[in-house]
Amino acid sequence: MALFAVFPTTFFLTLLSLRTYQSEVSAERLPLTPVSLKVSTNSTHQSLHLQWTVHNLPYHQELKMVFQIQISRIETSNVIWVGNYSTTVKWNQVLHWSWESELPLECATHFVRIKSVVDDAKFPEPNFWSNWSSWEEVSVQDSFGQDILFVFPKDKLVEEGSNVTICYVSRNIQNNVSCYLEGKQIHGEQLDPHVTSFNLSSVPFIRNKGTNIYCEASQGNVSKGIKGIVLFVSKVLEEPKNFSCETQDFKTLHCTWDPGTDTALGWFKQPSQSYTLFESFSGEKKLCTHKNWCNWQITQDSEETYNFTLIAENYLRKRSVNILFNLTHRVYLMNPFSVNFENVNATNAIMTWKVHSMRNNFTYLCQIELHGEGKMMQYNVSIKVNGEYFLSELEPATEYMARVRCADASHFWKWSEWSGQNFTTLEAAPSEAPDVWRIVNLEPGNHTVTLFWKPLSKLHANGKILFYNVVVENLDKPSRSELHSIPAPANSTKLILDRCSYQICVTANNSVGASPASVIVISADPESKDVEEERIAGTEGGFSLSWKPQPGDVIGYVVDWCDHTQDVLGDFQWKNVGPNTTSTVISTDAFRPGVRYDFRIYGLSTKRIACLLEKKTGYSQELAPSDNPHVLVDTLTSHSFTLSWKDYSTESQPGFIQGYHVYLKSKARQCHPRFEKAVLSDGSECCKYKIDNPEEKALIVDNLKPESFYEFFVTPFTSAGEGPNATFTKVTTPDEHSAMLIHILLPMVFCVLLIMVMCYLKSQWIKETCYPDIPDPYKSSILSLIKFKENPHLTIMNVSDCIPDAIEVVSKPEGTKIQFLGTRKSLTETELTKPNYLYLLPTEKNHSGPGPCICFENLTYNQAASDSGSCGHVPVPPKAPSMLGLMTSPENVLKALEKNYMNSLGEIPAGETSLNYVSQLASPMFGDKDSLPTNPVEPPHCSEYKMQMAVPLRLALPPPTENSSLSSITLLDPGEHYR
């Protein structure tokens, strides 16, 4: 019976299940085709929005379905996108789906259709797709205006680096359209005769006011219109960085973060990104009003654990970051306050401060930093409420800066801000003796000592140095000492000491006291041995010096140095070296290339007396010579010349002069003995001679050719190279005979110059001897002998007052040519074998002899006459009166004499004719003229005067004939003589 009872129940359940399955299968077989498909556009987002329903869906039944969507562009056959959309569909439900187009919707017509299939586990396989819905056409071009050109999309917003498609629509296919991105032309793809699209890849951010894109339509060279758009490119929204939250008072949480780049755009297209703080445990949310921080209030019933999410959002995307923390682990204390210093002295101080109270039994960890003299010291201390710390081992007279910060000692999160204050320790006496050195100059009878000292460092000065005390003690006379107080900041002084031994002590003094003394001893007989100077080579790091140790006990060595070319006092330095050291390196930034430095090494004895050990000199870096010598050419001959540059100084050069290079050029281009060929920097060839001795400043260049052209150039050289390039000096050798002529002519010229100088110096003597001055008739002594009867007041003798008694004409044998200035007429005398004489006798018939006469002679005209020393009458032959008819009258003779006296410009050539005239001035002093002696006697000696004129012979005498043998001619004068 039990088996029979179970069987009807099982059969009933099986039958029920079979009926249910048959019902579901019947429902699946029904056509579930999407219907009522509607498509709308969103130009802002460039998207298509689809909505539809499913027909024949069972009542109150939900099915999982898959919808396949096809989208075509321009025409239905041009399918550009196919995709599936899965969702659960309820009875009578309107479904929605959106698709964003890369190409602006305004650029082309779009077509959409859809089909579906049931994808539910309640239905067995196989499942079949429904039929496609009809194509739904979408076009927005019908809403365009009347313009001939359009550019899309309008005001599109994209992120930096996105790919963007733009297009233009041209009403007239005849127009030529060019498009530009920020002024640069771009090229696209033509979709149809009216539409062309442009794909822009990874668009950059140019400016927050957008990127300009425009297109220009034209026909030929005529513009038909310009249209453009602004593409807004936003910076990519970044995820917030360094997001953290902390509290200073357990009342407020202060959260901060780094927002990154601001994505705001101009024209209100996109504001800055917004930030929202969300706490997941409490479910509370807060919109933050600042870009990088936000405060969250802590309530008394709040948990100590927080889970915050910070959300950053703009129009294009959303970013978020999350933190989880315990409140007691995020305590950020406020900075300490009331920082003070107590009991400050030269080396110690007490620092105190206060902190803000947090909770009961809260322990603070504080850190102290002490800054002074370029050093930093750090100390840590734990406190409860007030803090105090003892600062020791401080430096006197030093300004310090001390600061303190605190944190939670139980759960360290971060230090608070610093709180600090400055303080200065008190002064103390200087702790170290000044470093002192000296320069001793020996002078007759005394020493001139120049003391130098280096200022104490701040570490050892322990305050401001006010003055230096220099105590000079005479060791030979201990009772005598002198104190010199030198105000700071002086670092040297000069002392003049006699030839005794002296001890000099130098101390530095501040407001508290004096430093230890620095002692130096000046010996009465300083060792003045000559030390040979050694040359050394420096490097960029300085000079490496070494020396032989001084015999005997030494307490140290001193190396001093200065610039070789400058004043010692201006650049004097020294360095102390220990007694066990015999080498050191002098390194300083003051060493300059090309500057010579002199070093002296002294040894200090136990009595602190310095002894000069060595001298060294060198350059930290040698340079090529800065100038060339001025070369003189001496002893120029036809075969050689000498070059010399004696005045060239080698001491002031930027390197040790090692020698000289002498360059020589000649037209023959052949090098002489001792010269070698060389090529100059300009490529020209010449001959070079090297002089290795820098003190040899002359060179004889021989084996030259006469009358040849040479060029030379002399330059010094150091280890760094030669001197600067300069122009060659030209020289030409003379011919072989020129030297001989010079040897002959120079003495002759010297003699002539000597004679000229002697003549100039003896000019007055020569003038008086060779051509004395013409006497002044007014001063003649002969006037005292003349007695005038008619005119007793007449004192000057004129030509008309004297009737000459005789004229003596002396003619040389040569022919005489006489030329008168007035007539320019030349007369040639025949050769005379004998001198001719012309006598003018008295006119009285009873004249029996000559009377007293006066002879005027001019040695310039007649030297022979001057030699005679006297004048007299020559005996007249008896026949002399018979020739009176050939003679010129006395008056004519007088006129000729006067004329020739006035005219001194006549010319009398080679055959000279001299005229001596003798004038009987008066009758004898006693007696009458009739009482003259009948027989002529020898005339007495006549007074001699300079002759005033010369009368040519032709004026007085006619030319003599061949038969004439008269040696004298007598003229009778019918007139009377003046007495």
Measured CA to CA, the distance from residue 505 to residue 486 in angstroms comes to 13
What are the structure tokens assigned to 301, written together? 């019933």
Please check whether residue 740 is in contact with residue 679, taking contact to mean a CB–CB distance below 8 angstroms. Answer: no
Residue 800 main-chain phi, psi, to 5 deg = -70, -15
- Angle in degrees, CA 501, 504, 506, rounded to 5: 175
Q: Over the stretch 323-360, which tens digit does the pLDDT of each residue have? A: 999 998 999 999 999 999 999 999 999 999 999 988 77
Q: With contact defined as beta carbons under 8 Å apart, do 116 and 32 qualify?
A: yes
52 near 93, Cβ under 8 Å? Answer: no
pLDDT of residue 689: 92
> What is the pairing mode between strands 944-946 and 826-828?
unpaired
CB-CB neighbours of 75 under 10 Å: 11
Asked if 351 and 262 sit in the same domain, the reply is no
Question: Residue holding tokens 């050769």?
Answer: 831
569 found inside a domain: yes
Quickly count: other Cβ atoms within 10 Å of residue 693's Cβ.
10
Q: Are 258 and 198 members of one domain?
A: no
**Looking at the structure, do residues 648 and 727 belong to the same domain, yes or no?**
yes
Asked if residue 149 and residue 103 are part of one domain, the reply reads: no
Residues in Cβ contact with 187 at an 8 Å cutoff, skipping those fewer than 6 apart: 198
Q: At what angle do helices 763-770 and 738-761 cross, to 10 degrees?
A: 70
Q: What is the pLDDT of residue 122?
A: 79
Please count the structural domains in the chain: 6
Q: Please classify residue 284 by burial: count the beta carbons closer than 10 Å to its beta carbon, then call 0-12 exposed, 13-18 middle and 19+ buried.
A: exposed
Please, what is the Cα angle at 883 between 882 and 886, to 5 degrees? 145
Q: Where in 79-172 does DSSP place strands (E)?
A: 79-89, 95-100, 110-118, 136-138, 149-152, 157-159, 164-170
Peptide bond before residue 153 is cis, with ω within 30 degrees of 0: yes
DSSP assignment of 871-909 equals --PPPPPTTGGGGGGGSPPHHHHHHHHHHHHH----B--
pLDDT at 977: 38
In the prediction, which pLDDT does 524 show? 82
Residue bearing tokens 């430095």: 597
The pLDDT of residue 358: 82
pLDDT at 913: 43
β-strand 241-246 against 222-234: which pairing, if any? Answer: unpaired
pTM assigned to the model: 0.50
User: Are 506 and 469 within 8 A, CB to CB?
Assistant: yes
DSSP labels, 356-376: ---STT--EEEEEEEEETTEE
Report, as ranges of residue numbers, the positions in the chain whose pLDDT lies below 70: 1-31, 526-529, 565-570, 738-740, 776-979
Q: Which residue segment(s) compose the domain that 305 sits in?
A: 241-329
Residue found by looking up tokens 């759960």 in the block: 411
How many CB atoms are located within 10 Å of the residue 31 CB? 10
What does the alpha-carbon distance between residue 900 and residue 906 come to, in Å, rounded to a whole number?
8
Measured in degrees and rounded to the nearest 5, phi and psi for residue 746 equal -60, -45
Maximum C-alpha span of the chain:
247
Residues 584 and 637 occupy one common structural domain: no
Query: What does the alpha-carbon distance between residue 703 and residue 707 come to, in Å, rounded to a whole number?
Result: 13
Give domain status of residue 539, yes or no: yes
Among candidates 805, 789, 901, which has minimal Cα distance to 853? Answer: 805
**Distance between CA atoms of 45 and 156, rounded to whole angstroms?**
8
Both 300 and 374 in one domain: the answer is no
Contact 454, 508 (CB under 8 A): no
Residues 784 and 781: their CA atoms lie apart, in Å, by 6
Residues 6+ apart with CB under 8 A from 868: none
Look at residues 371, 401, 425 and tell me which one is the last residue of a structural domain. 425
Give 25's DSSP letter: H
Residue 69 lies in a domain: yes
740, 758, 790 - which closes a domain: 740
Phi-psi region of 45 (alpha: psi -120 to 50; beta: other; left: phi over 0): alpha
CA gap 355, 802 in Å, rounded: 151
Same domain, 173 and 261: no
Q: How far apart are the C-alpha atoms of 952 and 188, rounded to whole Å?
A: 133
Check residue 430 and give its pLDDT: 94
| Nearest one of 701, 603, 722, 608 to 658, comparing CA atoms | 722
Co-location of 318 and 464 in the same domain: no
Q: Provide the pLDDT for residue 476.
A: 86
Three-class DSSP labels, 932-977: CCCCCCCCCCCCEEECCCCCCHHHHCCCCCCCCCCCEEEECCCCCC
For residue 755, being part of any structural domain is answered with no
Partner residues linked to 350 by β-bridges: 342, 390
Q: Same structural domain for residues 551 and 683?
A: no
330 closest CA partner among 428, 254, 232: 254
Q: Count the helices and strands in the chain (H runs, E runs).
A: 7, 61
* The CA-based dihedral angle spanning residues 197, 202, 208, 213, taken in that order and rounded to the nearest 10 degrees: -20
CA 869 to chain centre: 94
Give the other-Cβ count within 10 Å of 405's Cβ. Answer: 21
What is the per-residue pLDDT for 568?
Answer: 53
d(Cα 243, Cα 309) in Å, to the nearest integer? 10
Q: Single out the residue in 182, 209, 234 at which a domain terminates.
A: 234
115 and 169 housed in the same domain: no
Residue 40 lies in a domain: yes
Give the CATH number for residue 97.
2.60.40.10
106 within a domain of the structure (yes/no): yes
Q: What is the DSSP string of 788-819?
A: -SS-TT--S--GGG---SEEEEEE-SS--EEE
In this structure, which amino acid lies at residue 702? D
| Distant-in-sequence, close-in-space partners of 647: CB < 8 Å, separation ≥ 6 | 629, 630
Walk across the sheet containing 136-138 and list its strands: 79-89, 63-73, 110-118, 136-138
193: which 2 tokens?
């005769």
Beta bridge partners of 559: 575, 601
Instruction: Quote the CA–CA distance of 74 and 167 in Å, as a whole number.
Output: 14
Give the pLDDT of residue 738.
66
Residue 453 lies in a domain: yes
Give the three-state DSSP class for 15.
helix
The answer to whether residue 757 is domain-embedded is no
How far apart CA 352 and CA 338 sit, in angstroms, is 8
Q: Rg (Cα) of the chain, in Å, rounded?
A: 70
CA angle, corner 595, sides to 592 and 598, nearest 5? 110
How many residues are there in the chain? Answer: 979
Q: Report the 10 Å Cβ neighbour count for 333.
A: 25
The pLDDT value given to residue 442: 84
757: left (phi over 0), alpha (psi -120 to 50) or beta: alpha
Q: Does a cis peptide bond (omega within 30 degrees of 0) precede residue 126?
A: yes
Q: Looking at this protein, which amino acid is placed at residue 553?
A: D
Residues 689 and 551 in one domain: no
CB 608 within 8 A of CB 709: no
Question: Is residue 895 left, alpha or beta, with left meaning phi > 0 and alpha meaning psi from -120 to 50?
Answer: alpha
Give me the sign of the Cα torsion angle 679, 682, 683, 685. Answer: negative
Beta bridge partners of 136: 112
**363 and 257, same structural domain?**
no
Kindly provide the b/e burial profile for residues 617-647, where b requires at least 16 CB atoms within 10 angstroms of the residue's own CB. bbbbbbbbbeebbebeeeeeebeebebbbee
Phi and psi of 793, rounded to 5°?
-85, -10
Six-digit token pair at 241? 């960085």
